[in-house]
Amino acid sequence: MPAMPAMPAMPAMLTVLLWYLTFQTFLRWTAACPASQSFNDIWGCPSESLGPELLRDTAFASRNAWGSYLKDTGIASFSFTGNGVVVEPIADQDDTPWHVQLTQPIVLDQGGEDYAYYALCVQASSQEAGSLQFAVDADGALNFAVAGGGLRQQLRLRGNGDGDGSSAGCFQFRLGPSIYEYQGRVALDLGAFVERSEVCHVSLRRCAVRPAAAGLTPLRRCYLAAPEEA
């Protein structure tokens, strides 16, 4: 009867197991984000008219610049990597977007005697197809009214099965004219995800001219129809 092959020594097996678990943890918690991209093409603001970055920590190096909100304790976790933030849903069975949020307070100029044009742009990826929504809003003091009177931007993600799974989009808005500052927040609503996602990069900048790309909220006017002739 042939001899049974010798089993590896226990310390060697433990070493391999620990290496495997460490590697899997690394894959799970490291954001798989591509290099930061320019959002100018999406927004349509000429480079010479683009103002400075208005957000702190646009690549999510730490929690210092970003606040978080969970509707219920423990429904998601955040891992800040410096190349994006990993968002891991844990126990939330509800896909309401604002149940999981990352936020940052902002103060913006409203243009004085003219309008001020801004765009909040986001690049993100996910394991599975999904979406996130984002906007600038007035926080709870004004019932979270969206800046410029528009709707929150929806960003559809393809999932990692389709290339790197990353997508980018911009929330464009107009403030003013007003001599007073706009005080609000950037809000990234992440509660719709059911699998791990990565918010890779964010940017909030002002354009000195009206951007060429469509997306600014138009003025809404109502007209009465002319009476029909008898």
Write out pLDDT tens, residues 196-212.
889 999 999 999 999 87
Predicted pLDDT at 127: 81
Predicted pLDDT at 174: 96
Tell me the C-alpha distance between 135 and 154, whole Å. Answer: 9
Tell me the C-alpha distance between 229 and 43, whole Å. Answer: 46
Asked if residue 64 lies in contact with residue 228, where contact means CB atoms within 8 angstroms, the answer is no
The pTM of this model reads: 0.78
> Largest alpha-carbon pair distance within the chain?
108
Q: Which residues of the chain have a pLDDT value below 50? A: 7, 16-30, 161-163, 214-228, 230
The predicted-structure confidence for 143-173, as pLDDT tens digits, reads as follows 899 999 999 999 998 876 444 568 899 999 9
Predicted pLDDT at 26: 39
Predicted pLDDT at 131: 87
Predicted pLDDT at 39: 81
Cis amide prior to 177 (ω within 30 degrees): yes
**DSSP-based three-state secondary structure for 42:** helix
Strands, DSSP E only, in 10-115? 67-70, 76-80, 85-89, 100-108
Q: Taking the CA of residue 130 as centre, how many other CA atoms within 13 Å lie in the half-sphere pointing to its CB?
A: 24
Return the ∠ at Cα 20 (arms to 17 and 21), rounded to 5°: 85
- What does the DSSP 8-state code read for residue 146? B
Lookup: tokens for 221: 């006017």
Predicted pLDDT at 195: 82
Predicted pLDDT at 137: 97
Predicted pLDDT at 44: 85
Predicted pLDDT at 115: 96
Predicted pLDDT at 27: 40
